[in-house]
C-alpha cells in the first residue's frame, strides 16, 4: 500500500482518475535506487524479516514464562499450536506429526505475512507468485518425494482408482495425474491471487476518493473491503495449510 | 527470464494501463523473482529454526505439563471426594451410635430414677403409717384420760348434788351408781 499518497497525487495532477493499484506490489531496493539483484536488501527483505520477528515475538517471547496458567499472549501461541497440530493430526493422520513443524512454519509465515500486508503502506510478500510458487512447490516436492520414499511404487496407487470400474480406471488415471500436477499451480495462485486482488481493489477504491463527492462512498467501501481482507488473510493461510495436510495425507496413505 | 517477458505477460493480462510508473504486473516481473525467493528461503529457514528448536518443544512441554497437572488435580479431587464420602459415612454411623447410646442412657436413667422414687415412696408411706399409729395412740390416751376425768367429775358432781339435796350417801355407793349409769 506504499503508493496510496502517490496515487492521490497522480489523480490531482492529471485532473482525472488515475489508478495505480499494482504499484504497491513493486519490489524496490530498501537503500538507494538501482538494480534488484538476488541479494539486494529490498522491501521484500524488510517485510519478511518483520514476519519472522512477529513469529518470534508470539511463539518465543510470549511463551518465555512457560506458565501453567497462561497469559493472553501465551494463550494465543498455544491456540496457534493446537490449531495447526490438530489440523495435521485430523487431516493427515497421526503419522504426519513429524511434519508438524514444517506445516506450522508455512502457516505462521503466511498468516503473519498476510496480516502485516494489511498494515497501511506495507508490502505484502504473499501477494507475489514468486513467494507462493516456492511455498507450493516445496509442498508438492515434499509430498511427491516422501510419497515415493515411504510407499515406493505403491504411491502410484494414488492415480489408479481401484474402487472404479476397470474400463474407467485408465481415464481416471489420466485425470488424476493432471489434477496432481495442477495442485501446486492452484495452491500458489489461490493464495497470491486472493491477497493481490483484495489489495488492488482497496487501492482502486482509494483512487476514487480523489473525487470529493464520491470519497465518502469510497471510504466506506475501503472499510468494508478491509474487513473482508482481514477474513481473507486468515482464511487463505488456513486453506493453504489444510491443503498441505490433505496432500501430505496422500503421501502417507496413497490408497483411495 | 527477461523483463520483456514480464511486460508481455502483464500486457496480456491487461493490467498495464498506467504506463511508465510500473512495469505491468509486478508479480510477473521475473527479474525480481530471484530476490524474493532468496529472502523467502531465508525467512522460512529462520521461522523453521525458531519453531522447531525453541517454540514448538516449549509449547508442547507446557501443554503436556498442563494436561498432567489437570489430570493430577482431577485425580486428587476424586480422592478427596471419596474421603469426604467416607467421612460422611463415618459421621452418620457415629451419629446413629450416639443416638442409640443416648436412648440407652435415657432408659437406664429413667429406670434408676423410678427405682429411687419407688423406694422413697415406700419409705414415706411407712413413715406416714408410723406417724399415724403414734397419733392414734396419743388420741386413745387422751380419750381415756378424758373419760377418767369425766368419771371423776361426774362422781364428784353426783356426790355434791346428793349432799346438796340433803341426802347422805357414801362415796362408794355414789361411785358405783355413776359408773353403772355411765356404762348404760
Q: Which residues of B touch A102 (CB under 8 A)?
A: 48
Q: Does residue B8 register a pLDDT over 70?
A: no
Alpha-carbon distances of B37 from A44, A58, B8, B48, rounded to whole Å: 10, 25, 22, 16
Domain range for B92: 3-183
Instruction: Report chain B's mean pLDDT, rounded to a whole number.
Output: 85
C-alpha cell at A70: 497462561
Question: How far is C-alpha B115 from the chain's CA centre?
Answer: 34
Cβ-contact A194, A176 below 8 angstroms: no
Report pLDDT digits (tens) over B22-62.
457 888 888 889 999 999 999 999 999 999 999 999 999 99
A188 and chain B: CB distance < 8 Å anywhere? no
Cβ-contact A135, A188 below 8 angstroms: yes
Q: What is the mean pLDDT of residues B69-91?
A: 96
Q: Does residue B182 register a pLDDT over 80?
A: no
Cβ <8 Å between A101 and B66: no
Question: Chain B closest CA to A130's CA: distance in Å?
Answer: 5
Q: Which residues of A touch B63 (CB under 8 A)?
A: 78, 81-82
Residue of B nearest to A55 (CA): B47
Question: Which pLDDT score, from 0 to 100, does residue B184 have?
Answer: 64
Question: Which pLDDT score, from 0 to 100, does residue B169 have?
Answer: 73
Give the start-to-end residue ranges of the domains of chain A: 4-252
Cβ-contact B30, A36 below 8 angstroms: no
Q: Which residues of A touch B69 (CB under 8 A)?
A: 68
Question: Which pLDDT score, from 0 to 100, does residue A76 have?
Answer: 94
Across the interface, which of B28, B32, B62 has its CB nearest the CB of A36? Answer: B32
| pLDDT, greater one: A219 or B2 | A219
Ranges of residues in chain A with a pLDDT under 50 are 1-15
Cβ <8 Å between B50 and A51: no
Q: Could you give the number of structural domains in chain B?
A: 1
Q: How confident is the model at residue B85 (pLDDT cuts 50, 70, 90)?
A: very high
Question: Which pLDDT score, from 0 to 100, does residue B13 have?
Answer: 41
Residues 46-75 of A with CB under 8 A from B: 48-49, 51-52, 55-56, 59-60, 63, 66-68, 70, 74
Cβ-contact A178, A130 below 8 angstroms: no
Report pLDDT digits (tens) over A194-238.
999 999 999 989 888 888 888 899 999 999 999 999 999 999 999
Question: For residue A104, which phi and psi values (nearest 5 degrees)?
Answer: -60, -40
Amino acid at each position: 500500500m506504499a503508493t496510496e499518497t502517490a496515487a492521490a497525487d497522480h489523480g490531482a495532477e492529471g485532473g482525472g482518475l488515475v489508478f495505480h493499484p499494482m504499484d504497491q506490489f513493486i519490489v524496490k531496493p530498501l537503500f538507494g535506487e538501482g538494480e534488484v539483484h538476488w541479494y539486494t536488501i529490498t522491501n521484500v527483505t524488510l517485510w519478511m524479516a518483520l514476519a519472522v520477528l512477529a513469529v518470534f515475538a508470539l511463539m518465543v517471547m510470549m511463551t518465555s514464562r512457560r506458565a501453567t496458567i497462561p497469559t493472553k499472549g501465551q494463550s494465543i501461541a498455544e491456540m496457534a499450536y493446537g490449531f495447526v497440530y490438530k489440523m495435521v493430526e485430523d487431516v493427515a493422520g497421526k503419522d504426519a506429526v513429524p511434519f508438524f513443524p514444517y506445516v506450522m512454519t508455512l502457516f505462521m509465515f503466511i498468516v503473519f505475512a498476510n496480516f502485516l500486508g494489511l498494515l497501511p503502506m506495507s508490502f505484502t510478500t504473499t501477494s507475489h507468485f514468486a513467494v507462493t510458487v516456492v511455498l507450493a512447490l516445496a509442498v508438492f516436492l515434499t509430498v511427491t518425494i516422501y510419497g515415493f520414499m515411504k510407499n515406493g511404487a505403491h504411491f502410484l496407487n494414488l492415480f489408479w482408482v481401484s474402487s472404479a470400474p476397470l474400463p474407467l480406471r485408465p481415464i481416471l488415471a489420466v485425470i488424476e495425474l493432471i489434477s496432481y500436477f495442477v495442485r501446486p499451480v492452484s495452491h500458489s495462485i489461490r493464495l497470491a491471487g486472493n491477497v493481490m486482488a483484495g489489495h488492488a481493489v482497496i487501492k482502486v477504491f482509494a483512487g476514487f476518493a480523489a473525487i470529493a463527492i464520491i470519497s465518502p462512498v469510497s471510504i466506506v467501501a475501503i472499510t468494508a473491503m478491509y474487513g473482508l481482507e482481514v477474513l481473507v488473510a486468515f482464511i487463505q493461510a488456513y486453506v493453504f495449510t489444510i491443503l498441505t495436510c490433505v496432500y501430505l495425507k496422500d503421501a502417507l496413505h496413497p490408497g483411495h | 527470464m527477461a523483463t520483456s517477458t514480464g511486460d508481455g505477460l502483464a500486457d496480456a493480462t491487461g493490467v498495464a494501463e498506467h504506463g511508465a510508473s510500473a512495469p505491468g504486473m509486478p508479480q510477473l516481473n521475473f527479474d525480481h523473482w530471484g530476490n524474493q525467493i532468496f529472502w523467502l528461503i531465508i525467512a522460512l529457514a529462520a521461522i523453521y529454526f525458531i519453531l522447531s528448536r525453541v517454540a514448538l518443544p516449549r509449547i508442547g512441554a507446557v501443554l503436556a505439563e498442563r494436561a498432567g497437572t489437570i489430570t493430577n488435580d482431577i485425580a486428587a479431587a476424586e480422592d478427596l471426594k471419596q474421603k469426604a464420602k467416607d467421612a460422611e459415612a463415618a459421621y452418620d454411623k457415629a451419629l446413629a451410635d450416639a443416638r442409640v447410646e443416648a436412648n440407652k442412657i435415657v432408659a437406664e436413667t429413667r429406670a434408676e430414677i423410678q427405682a429411687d422414687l419407688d423406694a422413697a415412696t415406700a419409705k414415706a408411706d411407712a413413715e406416714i403409717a408410723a406417724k399415724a399409729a403414734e397419733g392414734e395412740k396419743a388420741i386413745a390416751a387422751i380419750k381415756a384420760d378424758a373419760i377418767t376425768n369425766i368419771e371423776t367429775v361426774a362422781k364428784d358432781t353426783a356426790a355434791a348434788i346428793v349432799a346438796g339435796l340433803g341426802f347422805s350417801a357414801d362415796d362408794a355407793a355414789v361411785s358405783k351408781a355413776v359408773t353403772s349409769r355411765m356404762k348404760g
